[in-house]
Amino acid sequence: MFKHFISLQWKSFWRSASASSGVWMKIFMGFWAVYFILMMMGGSFIAYKYINKELCLDPLEVVSRFLIYWWAFDLIFRYALQKMPIINITPLLILPFTKNKIVSFALGKTMLSFFNIIHAFFFVPFSVLLITEGNASLLNILLWNIGLIGLVYANNFLNILLNNKDSLIYGVGGVMAVLGGLHYFGYFDITQYTAPFFQGLYESQFLFVVPIVAAVGFYIIAFKSFVKDLYLDAGLATKSKTAKTENLEWLDRFGKTAVFLKNDIKLIKRNKRAKTTVLVSALFLFYGLLFFTGAVEAYEGPVWKIFAGIFVSGGFLMSFGQFVPSWDSSYYPLMMSQNIKYREYLSSKWWLMVIATFISTILASGYLYFGWEAYLAVIVGAVYNMGMNSHVVLWAGAYVKTPIDLTSNKKAFGDKQSFNIKTLMLSLPKLALPMILYAIGHYAYSPYAGYALVALAGIAGFAFRNMVFDKIERIYRTEKYKTIWAYKQKK
């Protein structure tokens, strides 16, 4: 029986349109996997050495202290990213499998998830170091690891139980943030209460049973609720929210462009994927902190300031803009057969990016705290974003042919299109050019000359707007049939 399931899985992986069409995609995914693995392994060495040599503390003790945060972070991370195993169950329901088999396969599949395995790359080298260099007892380290494995799997099944219970996970996140804050400022230290448990996993010879029991318990609960909900109108139902008709008449002042602008705003408000993207772009606002606070030494050079400026003001432009026109992929044939001038369609997307950049720039006024020169970098970055990058992004978008499933967050991070050679080439002028321009101005004359050069390039972009739009329009037109075809390839 399981043989069938596994062969189905195998086929669904290799035959999905995106997998078969993109060797690049696999390389890209592989790259990230290796990157994370190396990060985890490197992290374990650095953590051990740092705690041992610099802090002169017992690495095991320190790590055990912070495991409570690790645990909470893992849960939140899973909640945001780990896929639920329910997809593709429906066609199996009426076949002569018992429901228990289907569920145990689905749950079993999640056990092999990357989210579970990744932890081993930190804890295994760390444990080896503890034994070889720290003279920890082999048996106890083993028990400690078994306990942690229990915790990882407890999280795995807990995450399944928590699926779609947003309020709960926000609660956990909020409590952890507050506790972390209290800890940092020295008011209350939660780790004092939790460290004995994690330390106990090592010291006592029976405490490891607790996480194991928890994992098994969560498995049983998840299993039962899954079996119970294996109906089209229960666990497998797609949830729909009550809809409200909106007019957004205040946008009508933008004339013809408003038709699309209104639609784009609804798109962002009503679709999970688009909302996530906007959230990510809001995080870019904080990216500048790394540069302007001097937190990262590598970013000290003056040229990096303009880099930060571009990112802080252009978060939306980069994250949302790079997928134009894929946002409209699910109804692209409609758009293409309607009485639409490409130029109006494009200019509405352009306005959206310009407005968002403007708003980001205002929100970024907090950087005035680091001196007005920091904020000047943001403003200059914004001018460059509006004038140059908005056009470059639209241009690159003409070659993007990845359909977007608006209703799911799948693939929200890392898509094969990010590895499209053409879009890669076009990302150079987005970041490298302003940095080069600034460097020329900065080293030849003064920092202000650098800013002026970058801002001028941005303004020049405005002047060429019509020419650039003509060019983009032509590309859109010649790529039209290919794009329609590609958008039809679901999954």
> Contact between 135 and another protein (CB under 8 A)?
no
Cα(309)–Cα(3) distance, rounded to whole angstroms? 54
C-beta of 4 vs 488, nearer to another protein: 488
When asked if residue 330 is in the footprint of another protein (CB under 8 A), the reply is yes
Stretch that binds another protein, among 99-107, 125-133, 334-342, 427-435 (CB under 8 A): 334-342
Can residue 332 be called a binding residue for another protein (CB under 8 A)? yes
Residue 488 interacting with another protein (CB under 8 A): yes
Per-position x/- string for 195-224, each x denoting binding to another protein as judged by CB under 8 A, each - no binding: ------------------------------
263 binds another protein, rule: CB under 8 A: yes
Q: Does residue 338 bind another protein (CB under 8 A)?
A: yes
Of 10 and 331, the one with the shorter C-beta distance to another protein is 331
Examine residue 331 and tell whether it contacts another protein (CB under 8 A).
yes
In the block, residue with structure tokens 């997809």: 87
Decide if 105 contacts 2 (C-beta within 8 A). Answer: yes
Shortest Å, Cβ 19 to another protein: 21
Q: Which conformational region is residue 464 in: left (phi greater than 0), alpha (psi within -120 to 50 degrees), or beta?
A: alpha
187/394 Cα distance (integer angstroms) = 50
User: Which residue of 9, 205, 365, 407 would you call a contact of another protein, by CB under 8 A?
Assistant: 407
Contact string (CB under 8 A) for another protein, positions 463-482, x = contact:
------------------x-
Q: Is 270 in the site for another protein (CB under 8 A)?
A: yes
- The CA-based diameter of the chain, rounded to the nearest angstrom, is 78
Nearer to another protein, 94 or 243 (CB): 243
Measured distance CA(294)–CA(301) in Å, rounded: 10
Residue 9 touches another protein, criterion: CB under 8 A: no
Q: Which two tokens stand for residue 488?
A: 């039809």
DSSP codes joined into one string, 134-172: T---HHHHHHHHHHHHHHHHHHHHHHHHHTT-HHHHHHH
- For another protein, what does the binding mask look like between residues 236 and 255, x meaning CB under 8 A? ----xxxxxxx---------
**Nearest to 59, CA basis, from 71, 69, 67, 47:** 47
233 near another protein, judged by CB under 8 A? no
Amino acid (1-letter code) at residue 370: F
What backbone torsions phi and psi does residue 149 show, to the nearest 5 degrees?
-60, -40
Smallest CA-to-CA distance from 180 within 50, 47, 71, 294 is with: 71
Q: For another protein, which is the closer residue by CB, 245 or 466?
A: 245
Of 104-112, 140-148, 324-332, 462-470: span binding another protein (CB under 8 A):
324-332
**Tokens representing residue 358 in the block:** 């403007």
Under the binding rule (CB under 8 A), the answer on residue 485 touching another protein is yes
CA–CA distance, 445 with 449 (Å, rounded to integer) = 6
Instruction: Supply the minimum distance, in Å, between the C-beta of residue 333 and another protein.
Output: 5
Q: Judged by CB under 8 A, which of 51, 172, 221, 259 binds another protein?
A: 259
Could you give the CA distance from residue 150 to residue 21 in angstroms, rounded to a whole number?
38
* Residue 396: both structure tokens together: 């690159």
Give the CA radius of gyration of the chain.
26
Residues near another protein (CB under 8 A): 240-246, 259, 262-263, 266-267, 270-271, 330-334, 336-341, 406-407, 481, 484-485, 487-488
